[in-house]
Amino acid sequence: MEANIAVPSDGKNTWDGGGVRPFGASYGKMMMWFFILSDALTFSGFLAAYGLTRFKFIDSWPIADEVFTHIPFIHGEFPMYYVAFMTFVLIFSSVTMVLAVDAGHKMQKNKVAWYMFATIIGGLIFVGSQAWEWNTFIKGSYGAVKTTDGKILQFTSPKLDENGNQILNGEGQIVYKQIALTDFVVGERMDSKESHTRKNGLWWMSGDEVTEYSVAQVMASYQKNPAIQIRSEQIDMGKKQKVVLSREKGAEELAKGKLVVEGANLEVNEYGNTIFADFFFFITGFHGFHVFSGIVINIIIFFNVILGTYEKRGHYEMVEKVGLYWHFVDLVWVFVFTFFYLV
Amino acid sequence: MAHAHESHTKRIWNVFWILSAITIVEVALGIFKPAVLHLTSFLGTSPLNWIFIILTLAKAYGITWAFMHMEDEKKWFRRSVVWTAIFLISYLVTLLLIEGDYLHETLGPLVKW
């Protein structure tokens, strides 16, 4: 009868589901596992969609270690290092979390508190780093031109050694280095656009920022400097590098230029195909949101630990359940890291 | 808990070092990309990518088994979570990657470079 009729109880084990333990697992722990399973399927859906889109554009997808090259406070190009640091931070916070759970099994309140605190700090460092990555991504590093064909043209130049000679790689080919717009664009805007401020705007409203350079300006600078060549989005599948166009072909493509793209947003980005930025924001955003909610929940449980709630309860299972969620967040990151940055 | 608690802590740190080592290997390969692994092809993608995927699955196994204490749960409870996930994810990924490949073959030649 009790399976389908509500029976009055003393309320002490309301959240326990009546103390039944199928598979020896408590109600709360089993439900956390099933939630994790469903959330894992959600992320797999996103990553699978990313995989489909990448396969669809396999010969023109941006190359990750040409996009994510910065470290905070340090100038220069360091592909992959900061993302590797973020991965370590999250793994380490997972370790402190499981150590907290372990201390909870031994009913060591202070240890649990310290390890949870370390986990929260690790989480905050990760979220802060991800926010910084977004900022750098949105701000952009090089700048590019978008053509009427919908293609993104980036700029590159042969790498030179200290004597000004072209560097050749192992097969005797010229090594190219991507170059920023600021490094070669000179001269006047030539298109009379400017950002209005309160002083000279008739109706001053915030709106689309005018880019720093105009298309005509970029085209003129390209013509003036014979060392500049254009990198197309297309990948040479034999070398897995972006194809560099000859000066003539580059000029042809540049003539179709429609707007200068600096940075990235949901509509256009300087790294290549629009959908690359869309997926980046969506998937890392979803993951970052999970990390953030994990941090908030960890803080709540941290305070509960300090208040002695779990000592009174006689077990630290809540720490364990929250630990499961935190490890899930780490797991997702391990896969996102692989499929966005490595593969 | 079935094991002595001291060995639990030791095991946790062991797994941490293993995960870190795997990550370092992944990042090093990602930065250097040895041509013999990166520019060849095997079963649809490069051997380098396969190494990444296998190492990532190894990390996932380590995290789930040791950190999430899956090893302490009952066998069929484990399987009810893990087998479900693996089956559904494999199915979806297989279908979608085949689809993406088809889209590339069909739409790719239509793009003017």
Least confident of A91-95, A203-207, A232-236: A203-207
Residues A116-152: tens digit of each pLDDT: 999 999 999 999 999 999 999 999 889 899 999 889 9
CB B5 within 8 A of CB A321: no
β-pairing, A257-261 vs A144-147, is: antiparallel
- For B44, which residue in chain A has the nearest alpha carbon? A55
Residue B22 parent element (H or E): helix B5-32
For residues A304 and A300, give the distance between their C-alpha atoms in angstroms, rounded to a whole number.
6
Strand partners, A158: A176
DSSP state of B74: -
Mean pLDDT of chain B: 88
State whether A41 and B93 contact (CB < 8 Å).
no
Chain A interface mutation, best of B54, B96, B97, B105, highest count of A Cβ atoms under 10 Å? B96
Query: Which two tokens mark A184?
Result: 């070669």
The answer to whether A40 contacts chain B (CB < 8 Å) is yes
H helical segments located in B33-110: 35-38, 47-62, 75-107
Among candidates B49, B88, B93 on the partner chain, residue whose Cβ is nearest the Cβ of A343:
B49
C-alpha pair distances (Å), B69 with each of A200, A233, A293, B66, B106? 64, 45, 22, 5, 46
CA angle, residues A318, A322, A328, in degrees to nearest 5: 150
- CA–CA separation, B49 and A343 (whole Å): 5
- Greatest mean pLDDT among A297-306, A334-343, B3-12 lies in A297-306
Give the span between the Cα atoms of A114 and A117, in whole angstroms.
5
Q: Which among B5, B56, B89 has CB closest to A338?
A: B56
CB contacts of A239 in chain B (<8 Å) are 39
pLDDT beyond 90 at A173: no
Interface predicted TM-score of the whole assembly (ipTM), two decimals: 0.91
Residue of B67, B81, B106, B107 to mutate, interface with A, max A Cβ within 10 Å: B67
B56-82 per-position pLDDT tens digit: 999 999 899 888 888 788 899 999 999
Rounded-to-integer distance, Cα A117 and Cα A302, Å: 7
> What Å distances lie between residue B95 and A15, A93, B106, CA to CA?
40, 35, 17
Q: Which two tokens stand for residue B96?
A: 């979608």
Chain B contact present for A158, CB below 8 A? no
Residues of B in contact with A45 (CB under 8 A): 92
B62 reaches A (C-beta below 8 A): no
Strands, E assignment, A106-256: 144-147, 152-158, 176-178, 229-236, 241-245
Work out the number of other CB atoms within 10 angstroms of the CB of residue A15.
Answer: 9
